């Protein structure tokens, strides 16, 4: 116990439980109010924001969307499907060739950005990370279509695939 002063023999006890309650409530409040979501603001009509220039592009993660009628790479239409299939003229080596061409262009941009970031130092210690693709596909398509798209990605050196699905509510 803590002594309150001199040699009077009186002792003072301190109950820390209320203080711990306050700290736990404060920590809980701070954790609940913390957010990692980007902040969105409505811009006033009478406000003009300054321009920003990025010297180095960040890695672009391509998004491939396969709806019922077409294949889009980063919102650019590259293939028009015929009865849910890629036209035979757009297939080369088993892959969707227009998708491959778009992904090669994106890979070039990513490679140039990575070289610019490391200052063109070719010391062999840093290896480029493998490419990544996000695929959204209508559930009525067959696996053959997905396989052709994944093969195009693989040929363009994108080897990590993320497939978007809807979470089932039980």
Model confidence at 51: pLDDT above 80:
no
- Region at 124 (left for phi over 0; alpha for psi -120 to 50; beta for the rest): left
Query: Over the stretch 68-88, which tens digit does the pLDDT of each residue have?
Result: 899 999 889 999 999 989 999
Q: In 3D, which of 161, 136, 116, 128 has the Cα closest to residue 74?
A: 136
pLDDT value at position 86?
A: 93
pLDDT at 101 over 90: yes
How far is residue 164's CA from residue 156's CA, in Å, rounded to a whole number? 21
pLDDT at 56: 47
Q: Name 108's Cβ contacts closer than 8 Å, sequence gap at least 6.
A: none
Query: What is the Cα–Cα distance from 143 to 66, expressed in whole angstroms?
Result: 12
Cβ within 8 Å of residue 14, ≥6 positions away: 2
Task: Tell whether the model's pLDDT for residue 2 goes beyond 60.
Answer: no
Q: Which residue has the tokens 């396989």?
A: 147
Q: Residues of the chain with pLDDT > 70: what percent?
A: 69
Where does the pLDDT of residue 29 fall: very low under 50, low under 70, confident under 90, or very high at 90 and above? confident
pLDDT of 148 strictly over 90: yes
Question: Is residue 70 within 8 Å of residue 80, measured between CB atoms?
Answer: yes
What is the per-residue pLDDT for 166? 74
| pLDDT for residue 37 is more than 70 | no
Residue of higher predicted confidence among 118 and 54: 118
Helices assigned H by DSSP within the chain: 17-33, 97-117, 143-155
User: Of the given ranges (50-54, 62-66, 154-158), which has the lowest mean pLDDT?
Assistant: 50-54
**Full-model pTM:** 0.59
**CA pair distance 137, 147, nearest whole angstrom:** 12
Using alpha carbons, select from 158, 106, 154 the residue that is nearest to residue 132: 158
Residue 115 in this model has a pLDDT that exceeds 70:
yes
Residue boundaries of the structural domains of the chain = 2-33, 63-163
Residue 57 pLDDT = 47
- pLDDT greater at residue 47 or residue 113: 113
């Amino acid at each position: 116990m803590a002594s309150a002063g001199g040699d009077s023999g009186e002792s003072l006890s301190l109950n820390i439980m209320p203080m711990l309650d306050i700290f736990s409530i404060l920590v809980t409040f701070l954790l609940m109010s913390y957010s990692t979501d980007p902040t969105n603001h409505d811009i006033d009509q009478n406000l003009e924001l300054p321009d920003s220039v990025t010297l180095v592009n960040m890695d672009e993660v391509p998004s491939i969307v396969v709806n019922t009628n077409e294949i889009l790479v980063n919102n650019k239409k590259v293939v028009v499907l015929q009865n849910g299939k890629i036209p035979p003229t757009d297939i080369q080596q088993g892959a969707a060739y227009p998708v491959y061409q778009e992904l090669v262009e994106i890979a070039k941009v990513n490679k140039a950005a990575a070289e610019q970031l490391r200052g063109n130092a070719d010391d062999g210690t840093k290896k480029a990370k493998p490419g990544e693709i996000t695929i959204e596909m209508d559930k009525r398509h067959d696996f053959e279509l997905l396989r052709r798209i994944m093969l195009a990605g693989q040929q363009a050196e994108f080897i990590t695939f993320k497939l978007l699905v809807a979470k089932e509510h039980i």
